[in-house]
């Protein structure tokens, strides 16, 4: 990856799911990226969209990589460290591919929409047809490109489907402003047609959410 100031950056530098998230963030907004990893998204947003970004990352190695490249990142945990932030501190609170690994996804989701005026959440869809078929056909826990750990060592303890997630949003009074599902090749195709389509053919989904 390349970082701010390297001057060799092009759109498309980052992972497909990160690009989908980045596309939802308007220029010059204030962003908190929860589970920011090595800072690829924050770096992209700072470079391409002049975003005022902060990050939280669980792994100290990730944090050190971010800070040593000039990004504002703290070591912390989505489950425990979101409470400190005041309401409306950010325009966008982002949680990329992390929701399914939290202990209390419901609380985390509520916190995201308290801290941020909007939230962007992405996760691997457990309703994807290969996942369904894997369990039905082989009778074993599914292992796919986005869920690539065997059951005994996966960090993903709260997996859900498109329908599960949208039901929770409805319960919490959260409005889905936008949903983008992508297939295994990272393409959108016809997946946006309906929830059922997205739930069956989407490998991963990205949501833009706001409070009602």
Partner 1 sequence: MAGNRDPIGEGSTVTLDGAALRLDCGSDLANATIAYRTYGTLNAQRSNAILVCHALTGDQHVLGTHPVTGKPGWWERMVGPGKVIDTDRYFVVCSNVLGGCMGSTGPRDVNPATGKPWGLDFPVITIGDMVRAQARLLDHLGIDQLFCVIGGSMGGMQVLQWAAAYPERVFAAIPVASAARHSAQNIAFHEVGRQAIMADPNWGGGNYLNQNTLPRAGLAVARMAAHITYLSESALHRKFGRNLQNRDKVAFGFDADFQVESYLRYQGESFVERFDPNSYLYITRAMDYFDLAAEHDGVLAHAFRGTRTRFCVVSFTSDWLFPTAENKAVVHALNAAAANVSFVEVATDKGHDAFLLDEPELFKTLGGFLAGCAEHRGLAR
Where do contacts with partner 1 occur on this chain (CB under 8 A)?
4-5, 52, 54, 60, 63-64, 66-76, 81, 84-86, 89
Nearer to partner 1, 114 or 179 (CB): 114
Long-range contacts: 42-50, Cβ < 8 Å, 24+?
42/66, 42/71, 42/73, 43/1, 43/2, 43/3, 43/4, 43/69, 43/71, 44/9, 44/13, 44/14, 44/18, 46/4, 46/71, 47/4, 47/9, 48/9, 48/11, 48/22, 49/22, 49/25
Nearer to partner 1, 75 or 144 (CB): 75
Query: In the bound complex, what is the minimum distance in angstroms from residue 124's beta carbon to partner 1?
Result: 28
Contacts of 71 (CB under 8 A, 6+ apart): 3, 4, 36, 39, 42, 43, 46, 53, 55
DSSP string of 115-138, one letter each residue: HEEEEEEEEEBTT-HHHHHIIIII
Query: In the bound complex, what is the minimum distance in angstroms from residue 93's beta carbon to partner 1?
Result: 12
Nearer to partner 1, 91 or 164 (CB): 91
Nearer to partner 1, 86 or 139 (CB): 86
Nearer to partner 1, 62 or 105 (CB): 62
Strand 72-75 to 90-96 pairing: unpaired
Query: 114 is written with which tokens?
Result: 């308290």
Nearer to partner 1, 85 or 126 (CB): 85
CA distance 207 to 91: 15
Query: In the bound complex, what is the minimum distance in angstroms from residue 49's beta carbon to partner 1?
Result: 16
Whether 68 and 48 have beta carbons less than 8 Å apart is answered as no
């Amino acid at each position: 990856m390349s970082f701010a100031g390297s001057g060799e950056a092009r759109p498309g530098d980052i992972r497909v799911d990160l690009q989908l998230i980045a596309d939802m963030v308007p220029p010059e907004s204030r962003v908190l990226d929860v589970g920011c990893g090595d800072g690829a998204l924050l770096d992209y947003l700072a470079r391409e969209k002049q975003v005022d970004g902060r990050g939280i990352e669980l792994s100290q190695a990730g944090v050190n990589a971010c800070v040593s490249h000039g990004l504002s990142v703290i070591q912390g945990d989505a489950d425990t460290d979101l409470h400190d932030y005041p309401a409306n501190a950010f325009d966008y609170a982002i949680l990329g591919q992390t929701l399914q690994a939290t202990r209390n996804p419901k609380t985390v989701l509520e916190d995201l929409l308290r801290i941020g005026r909007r939230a962007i959440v992405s996760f691997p869809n457990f309703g994807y047809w290969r996942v369904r078929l894997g369990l039905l056909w082989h009778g074993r826990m599914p292992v796919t490109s986005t869920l690539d750990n065997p059951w005994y060592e996966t960090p993903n303890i709260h997996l859900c489907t498109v329908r599960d997630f949208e039901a929770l949003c409805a319960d919490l009074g959260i409005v889905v402003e936008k949903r983008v599902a992508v297939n295994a090749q990272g393409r959108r195709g016809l997946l946006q047609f309906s929830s059922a389509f997205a739930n069956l053919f989407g490998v991963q989904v990205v949501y833009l959410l706001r409070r009602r």
